[in-house]
Amino acid sequence: MSAFAPTTPLMKTFLLFVVTALAEIVGCYLPYRWLREGASAWWLVPAAASLTLFAWLLTLHPSAAGRTYAAYGGVYVCVAILWLWGVEAIRPSPWDWAGIAFTLAGMALIAFQPR
């Protein structure tokens, strides 16, 4: 077993949410670059593949679809702010960090409630 392999179901679920969010962000960011910043239309090909991956990844989540989408939203907010920082080189504000904390707390309440 790799030292980096998730060892708990909670960690596996959270990492699946993160990968799902990245697939959606990439799938939306590339058309944005094409439409708003004049990037090549060829960027739409990996964008479509990324959105296809995103839809498939949503099917791997263990909860009912509505609960999965609700919990996923919290992780999406976090990943989007980290994308802002890492890709667009815009440093998050203290308000952004507070928003991340609140949305991840909400995600945890929804995703990891007792069954």
Whole-number pLDDT of residue 103: 92
Tell me the pLDDT tens digit for each residue of 30-81: 999 999 999 999 999 999 999 999 999 988 877 777 777 777 888 889 999 9
Where are the domains positioned within the chain? 9-111
> Of 75, 72, 47, 48, nearest to 59 (Cα)?
72
State the average pLDDT over residues 3-21: 77
Residue of higher predicted confidence among 49 and 104: 49
Q: Distance between CA 87 and CA 3 in Å, rounded?
A: 27
When the pLDDT of each residue in the chain is averaged and rounded to a whole number, the result is 87
